[in-house]
Amino acid sequence: MNGVRATIAIVVVTNCVTTLVQAGDDAVTYRNVRSITTCKGPRGFTHAMRGIAVQNDLLYVVGDQKLLVLRTNSTLARSWPTEHPGNCVAVHPDGRVFVGEEGQIEIFSPDGKRSSVWRDAERLDFVTAIGFAGDAVIVADADGRCLRRYTADGEYVRDIGKGKRLRGFMLPNRYLDFFMEDEKIIRVADPGRHRISRYTIDGERLDHVGHFATKSERGFPGCCNPTNIARTPAGDIVAVQKAPPMVKVFGCDGEFRTAFGGKSFDPNCKNSDAAVDRAGNIYVIDTVRLEIVVFGPEQPHGTANDSEQMP
């Protein structure tokens, strides 16, 4: 009973309708459907909220020294502490929860019992993203400026993005993010080069999309963008930028689709992790307000406006 009361007590969902910037006639557009504020507060996060993942209609969020599991209706399903502040979280298809931290990865069972810790002082310096490709576990080490490939048992295999003529990703903001396009291909954000690059899990560099731009929404501004990326069920690329914070969607071939969300974030937001659920809803962390901003897809030909309305 107490648990139910506690859950209800921290659930505050702010409904608002923001949105759209622009999109082509046949493009999917997005609108800000709500902000999940349940993660903020004494039972949630008080200082930092850094990583988010979605699986089976559950949101996994890490920050401070804890992990929160939220239902998509924003109620708290469960939570547990982590040894160090989590930078990122990923859920293995078998249900295990991987939390990337400074110097290590903690692995939990679905109910929050810690089953294992991978420590590798040289290769897991600052873990900011984790992904799975069959038996391989791909880890982003921001301080090492590359991806590390491990076996499912935690045995190091190789670096990706560094070595030979590859000098590592350019990460002035100490954050490296990627997603698995399929079991062989990795899409990785390279913010210092204003690109999103493709690599094989064997370390071969394939190609990249994205370019520097300030006045056009089709490129990325500032010193280092995009900082975070995710993949929609349709295979589109969701790229989150800072200064100003904004979400941009590109096709898998790099074709610009839409940009939105500028007014939904605190302008000081940076390194805002993103995740996409099966319905195509995009969840982005507001790292200053400690909230999750949710954008839902709309059918083509939706009405475009850039104003905020109260519910």
User: Helix count (H) and strand count (E) of the chain?
Assistant: 1, 28
CB of residue 262 to another protein, shortest distance in Å: 12
- Residue 267 in the binding site for another protein (CB under 8 A): yes
Q: List Cβ neighbours of 85 (8 Å cut-off, separation of 6 or more).
A: 48, 50, 62, 63, 64, 65, 101, 102
CB of residue 17 to another protein, shortest distance in Å: 24
Of the candidates 303, 268, 175, 183, which has an alpha carbon nearest to the alpha carbon of residue 229? Answer: 175
Instruction: With beta carbons less than 8 A apart as the criterion, state whether 58 and 76 touch.
Output: no
Stretch of 74-82, 135-143, 169-177, 289-297 contacting another protein, by CB under 8 A:
169-177
Instruction: Retrieve residue 217's tokens.
Output: 């929404």
- Residue 242 in the binding site for another protein (CB under 8 A): yes
* Cα 242 to Cα 244: distance, rounded to the nearest angstrom: 5
Stretch of 13-21, 238-246, 277-285, 290-298 contacting another protein, by CB under 8 A:
238-246
267 or 300: CB nearest another protein:
267
- Residue 268 in the binding site for another protein (CB under 8 A): yes
- Residue 281 in the binding site for another protein (CB under 8 A): no
- Residue 262 in the binding site for another protein (CB under 8 A): no
Size of the site for another protein (CB under 8 A): 25
156 or 212: CB nearest another protein:
212
* Cα 133 to Cα 184: distance, rounded to the nearest angstrom: 7
Of the candidates 264, 272, 252, 270, which has an alpha carbon nearest to the alpha carbon of residue 296? Answer: 264
- Residue 40 in the binding site for another protein (CB under 8 A): no
Instruction: Retrieve residue 65's tokens.
Output: 């020294």
Stretch of 56-64, 106-114, 133-141, 215-223 contacting another protein, by CB under 8 A:
215-223
Instruction: Retrieve residue 138's tokens.
Output: 């791909």
At residue 7, what are phi and psi to the nearest 5 degrees? Answer: -65, -45
**Binding residue (CB under 8 A) for another protein from 214, 303, 307, 309:** 214
- Residue 270 in the binding site for another protein (CB under 8 A): yes
**Binding residue (CB under 8 A) for another protein from 213, 235, 279, 300:** 213
Binding to another protein (CB under 8 A) within 127-146 occurs at none
**Binding residue (CB under 8 A) for another protein from 24, 163, 172, 233:** 172
Instruction: Retrieve residue 80's tokens.
Output: 């547990």
How many CB atoms within 10 Å of residue 202?
Answer: 11
At residue 292's C-alpha, the angle toward residues 306 and 95, to 5°, is 135
- Residue 223 in the binding site for another protein (CB under 8 A): yes
Binding to another protein (CB under 8 A) within 176-195 occurs at 192-195
Stretch of 23-31, 89-97, 175-183, 205-213 contacting another protein, by CB under 8 A:
205-213
- Residue 218 in the binding site for another protein (CB under 8 A): no
Please tell me whether residue 107 adopts helix, strand or coil conformation: strand
**Binding residue (CB under 8 A) for another protein from 57, 83, 211, 279:** 211
**Binding residue (CB under 8 A) for another protein from 170, 185, 252, 304:** 170
* Cα 209 to Cα 198: distance, rounded to the nearest angstrom: 9
What are the C-alpha distances in Å from 239 to residues 112, 113, 185? 30, 33, 17
State the residues that interact with another protein by CB under 8 A: 165, 167, 170, 172-173, 192-195, 211-215, 221-224, 242-243, 245, 267-270
